[in-house]
Structure 1
Amino acid sequence: MRYNSLNTFKMQGKSSVSKGPVGLILIEDDVEIDSTIRHHLECGFAQIIVFSAPRHTIDPALEAKVIRVDHDMLADNALTDVVNTVIDMAPKVWLYYCYNTEYLFFPFSEHRTVGEMVAFSTEERRFSILTYVVDLYAGNLDENPNAVSIQDAYLDKSGYYSLARMDSQNNALDRQLDFFGGLRWRFEEHIPKPRRRIDRIALFRAQDGLRLNEDHTFNEPEYNTYSCPWHHNLTVAICSFRTAKALKRNPGSTFEIQSFHWHNSAPFSWHSQQLLDLGLMEPGQWF
């Protein structure tokens, strides 16, 4: 199924988001589109919806398994336009969003589905799941000048930290933290300050009036918290080449970066256990 605009999808596609969890994949360029879709199909989403400008090509075998909506993800406000439109279409449905070259991992994801995970979260009366965006980067930039390599991917095994999130009166917000690390921390001089955080609420249950902001927070404060008041909740990770791509694409940084390697680089195993061992996600009470 393919819709020729976001507005057409809004008017005609409500039945496709009636059952969750629904994965929204936002295509910004031609890099690793197929591997991104394939990975998320294997996660167990009830439906995958791909938002992409018509110029981008998807393997026909994969395109047959998803819904495609023609929408330019490089346009102004593209993120919030897409996610908030789907929120309005799918009240009480669990939603997830990511970009191409981003890959969702969650505790025990090799043998459990994302549907099982959000069902557990719902039982805990928890309707949002904190997501750490873990930077991936190619080990050899001479061979992979766009910094993307599925076969030769690395991540930082340390260097992550959090700070209290403050309100407009400089008071710490309840159970809200700003998380930092990875390439956005190591190369922060090339990253605008509002974009240095690595936290995102990428998995959440839609509700009436909920709105995603451009900084990946929501207008409902409880959705922005890292856990509920009574115990720790599970968290997930999105392993992402997106920052590495941007740093090598940007003329202001590409010639200053010959390698992303440092003493805390480690080969990425493409397995949830590595992320659990590094503390980059937690199972909470889900065993």
Structure 2
Amino acid sequence: MQYSGLNNFLSRGAASLATGPVALVFAEDDVELDTTLRHHQQSGFDSVVVFMPTVFDLPPDLTDSVHRVDYDPGAEGAVEAAVNAVIDAAPGIWLYYCFNAEYLFHPFCETRVIGEMLAFHAEERRDAMLCYVIDLYAGDLNSAPDAVSLDEAYLDRSGYYALARADAANHNHPKDRQLDFFGGLRWRFEEHVPPERRKIDRIALFKAKPGLRLRSDHTFDDEEYNTYACPWHNNLTAAIVSFRTAKALKKNPGSTFDISSFRWHNSAQFEWHSRQLLDLGLMEPGQWF
């Protein structure tokens, strides 16, 4: 199913937003686009919508099961504009957004689909879920010069930290139950990453409601959506394992020649299993056992 643009999708593709959860994938390039789409289909999303330039092709086996929207995610503000338009068109529906070469993992995802987790999360009176974007990178940049390798993917097993999120409207006092999280390649190679792009937290899973707006820093204008837990106890969090930063660092002429390898003494090969992320403390099961 293909749509000629965002407005055409919203008018013709309303059925894909009737039930959730819905995954919105933004294709900045075509690297691992097919595996990204298949991963989120297998995760249990009711619909998978991909926003992608017309110059990219979908594999034939995905053309009937994925909603393709002709769109340029690389334009300034394009991702927020598309997400906010879908929010307006799908009130009450759980939405998720990511980019190509990113893969969502949630606690016990090998045996429990995304809808089961979100049903439990909603019962705890939560309308959004904090996700950590965990950088993946190829172990050998000679064999994978674009830093992407599913078979030899590595991540950092330490080096993550959080800082209080200052509230500019309240004399820079810390915001309630909000933190800025850092780590991974954006921390180790921060000299190549603009300060506003160094955070690894993203409110990627959320329930749409009228008037809700996604901001450019991956937070929402409803501050409760940006909290990591409710006032009573810890809540579930999820992880998005992502080659996006590694790709950018190797693609950017200003950084590619400074990086011969992303591996260091705290690198570990990614096992593509939620247990590893839980053991490393990179997501939280909360009260969900």
> Which TM-score bucket, shorter chain as reference?
over 0.9
Superposed, 1:232-243 pairs within 5 Å as 232-243=234-245
Q: Given the alignment, which residue of 224, 230, 233 partners 1:231? A: 233
SS of residue in 2 equivalent to 1:23:
strand
Q: What is the rounded CA distance, in whole Å, between the counterparts of 2:15 and 2:167 in structure 1?
A: 39
2:220 aligned residue: 218
2:272 aligned residue: 270
Q: Given the alignment, which residue of 256, 259, 273 partners 1:257? A: 259
What is the number of residues matched between the two proteins? 287
Cα distance, 1:60 vs structure 2: 1.1
Match for 2:19: what amino acid?
Answer: K
Cα distance, 1:72 vs structure 2: 0.8
* Percent of residue pairs identical: 63
Q: TM-score, normalised by structure 1?
A: 0.99
> Which 5+ residue runs of structure 2 have no aligned equivalent?
none
SS of residue in 2 equivalent to 1:253:
helix
SS of residue in 2 equivalent to 1:130:
strand
Match for 2:258: what amino acid?
Answer: E
Superposed, 1:106-145 pairs within 5 Å as 106-145=106-145
1:166 aligned residue: 166
Cα distance, 1:52 vs structure 2: 0.6
> Which 5+ residue runs of structure 1 have no aligned equivalent?
none
Superposed, 1:20-99 pairs within 5 Å as 20-99=20-99
Match for 1:178: what amino acid?
Answer: D
Give CA deviations for 1:42-71 in whole Å, capped at 9, x if unaligned. Answer: 000011111111111111102221111110
Give CA deviations for 1:111-148 in whole Å, capped at 9, x if unaligned. Answer: 10000011001111101000000000000001101000
Match for 1:261: what amino acid?
Answer: R
Q: What is the rounded CA distance, in whole Å, between the counterparts of 1:248 and 1:86 in structure 2?
A: 32
Q: What is the rounded CA distance, in whole Å, between the counterparts of 1:23 and 1:267 in structure 2?
A: 27
Would you say 1:17 and 2:25 are equivalent positions?
Answer: no
Give CA deviations for 1:81-136 in whole Å, capped at 9, x if unaligned. Answer: 11001100100100000000000000000010000011001111101000000000
SS of residue in 2 equivalent to 1:172:
strand
Cα distance, 1:77 vs structure 2: 0.9
SS of residue in 2 equivalent to 1:252:
helix
Cα distance, 1:16 vs structure 2: 1.4
- Please tell me the root mean square deviation across aligned C-alpha atoms, in Å: 0.6
Cα distance, 1:232 vs structure 2: 0.5
Q: What is the rounded CA distance, in whole Å, between the counterparts of 2:16 and 2:137 in structure 1?
A: 34
Q: What is the rounded CA distance, in whole Å, between the counterparts of 2:14 and 2:30 in structure 1?
A: 28
Q: TM-score, normalised by structure 2?
A: 0.98
Q: What is the rounded CA distance, in whole Å, between the counterparts of 1:28 and 1:202 in structure 2?
A: 17
Q: What is the rounded CA distance, in whole Å, between the counterparts of 1:16 and 1:36 in structure 2?
A: 19
Match for 1:22: what amino acid?
Answer: V
| 4+ long deviations beyond 3 Å | none
SS of residue in 1 equivalent to 2:257:
helix
Give CA deviations for 1:175-215 in whole Å, capped at 9, x if unaligned. Answer: 00000000000000000000000000000000011000011
SS of residue in 2 equivalent to 1:68:
strand
Cα distance, 1:12 vs structure 2: 2.3
Match for 1:111: what amino acid?
Answer: T
Would you say 1:146 and 2:146 are equivalent positions?
Answer: yes
Q: What is the rounded CA distance, in whole Å, between the counterparts of 1:110 and 1:62 in structure 2?
A: 22
Give CA deviations for 1:23-54 in whole Å, capped at 9, x if unaligned. Answer: 00110001001010111110000111111111
SS of residue in 2 equivalent to 1:256:
coil
Would you say 1:199 and 2:192 are equivalent positions?
Answer: no
Q: What is the rounded CA distance, in whole Å, between the counterparts of 1:49 and 1:74 in structure 2?
A: 17
SS of residue in 1 equivalent to 2:253:
coil
Cα distance, 1:9 vs structure 2: 1.2
